Structure 1
Amino acid sequence: MEKYLKPERLHLDPSQPDAADIWTHWKKSFAIFLDAAGETQQTPLTDRLKFSLLVNLVSPTIFKNISDLDCFNSAMDILDTIFIQPKNSIFCRHLLATRRQQTDESIDQYLQSLKTLAKDCEFRAVSETQARDEYIRDAFINGISSNYNRQRLLENGSLDLKAAYNQALVMETAQKQLASYSRTNAVSASTRAEETNVTAHSTPERIVAAVARCYFCGRGKHNRSECPARNAICKNCNKKGYSAHVCKSSAVVAAAAINPGTPQPKIPTTILQELPKILVVCQLV
């Protein structure tokens, strides 16, 4: 009898889409064959004999995975791990909820397909609160706008509503902080590029344009009517209309005003050292 129940030699690639189904069917056939062989001998098969029969009925490629074993149960556990990948119950429930009847599919076929999908959904007897939270969790993951965040959530083997919320919140916060870093780095890079373009060989007029600062308060360029120093009193010269740190009544300006023919020092090589010269130019313009 057992010769009629003997399964064919197993040749199976774990990467096949239906590898789990083929392995499950072959495993069941092999178990029936072992039972029949035991009844024929009228005595239970030993573990060693079961392992020998297994080795004889798998391909050399599959045998490589169990070649260092001699225990039947250990070998079957390893093959289960290879051919049966863990199911993500959250994704399986998503497949069940979104399954639609096909154009050429009958009602019977559609219902059977739904029942097949439901086998991997890990439905169990739970309380009303647990059932509600699981339904909200599934809707939360399905409706979240970020595909990346959804992928990270689906990487979890098991996930309840609270854990899904906490993980999604952490990822959202981190993404916002990352965007802030990106904006800061972009501004810094732009500033460095502008400063690099203003070299020691630039004319005062070009430096003024690059720096683009208000002549009265020293801040970013803006309308005179909006200048915070419009009514300020300079502490250096007591004049109204600008701040002391941009006061043009410096020693260099005074010397230039008294002795216009006096040779002026060469333009310094850094922007900070250029500022007094820039202010002189601004006053003359």
Structure 2
Amino acid sequence: MSNVHFGILNSFDHNVQTWKTYKGRIEQYFIANDINEQSDATGKKRKAILLSALSEGTYRLATDLALPKKVQNVPYEDLLKILDGHFSPKRIGFGERHNFYAAVQHTCESHSQWAARLRGLTAHCGFLNVEETLRDKFIMGMRPGPEKEKLYAVDLNDLSLAKVVEMAENLSCARATAAAASSAGPAPPAAPDAQLYKISNNGRSANVGKVKCSVCGFNNHRSSECKYKNYVCKKCHVKGHLRKMCTKVNYVEADLVDESDDDVYAK
């Protein structure tokens, strides 16, 4: 046999790992490397590989379980039976069913993961119709939300677990996409034009910028078009602006023009 080994065999710690899962992995490791009853008739190589893969705590436990024999003297098949008996005790059917019916979907668990976990819980329940029971529990144990509400309204005739899981995943994906689109918000409004379009007093359309008239202070006409351009300021006595627009005195006037308060000195 070649010295090249296929696969990775990690150590087994019974405090954090499941024996049933690890046993399946080590069996696959043996298959990949052609270690079987023919190439290892006595089982010594398989036993050596298994014992060397045990963590210190698990190896000590295996040693205690093998007493009064030494663990290295126990045949491989007998060692498997010892470990099976300790790590895989006989299941009580009703207790397993209780665990199944009490299960609920976790917050961070996808619908596919929820279905897979449920299927694992049925291993020792002895249900007569596993698929129908799985389908019903999948829907009833889902976390609250739109997906569960919609599935409650679906006709269950010819509806398998796979179909229910597919529908739940599609609904969840559609909801997430819609939420992402809504959070983006509407497009920002276009910037307003720099110029404002107003109608002059004589009915002409004009494109007039918001520039304050230096004569009267209004911003709906040019200074050259102001009807007060020939008025004489009552403060500085200079023609061309009203007193509220006078820059030669420290005076603030109201925004509205009061013609009665400005004497007319038109020349």
Q: TM-score, normalised by structure 2?
A: 0.37
Q: Which has the higher contact order (CA 8 A, sep 6+)?
A: 1
Higher helix content, 1 or 2: 1
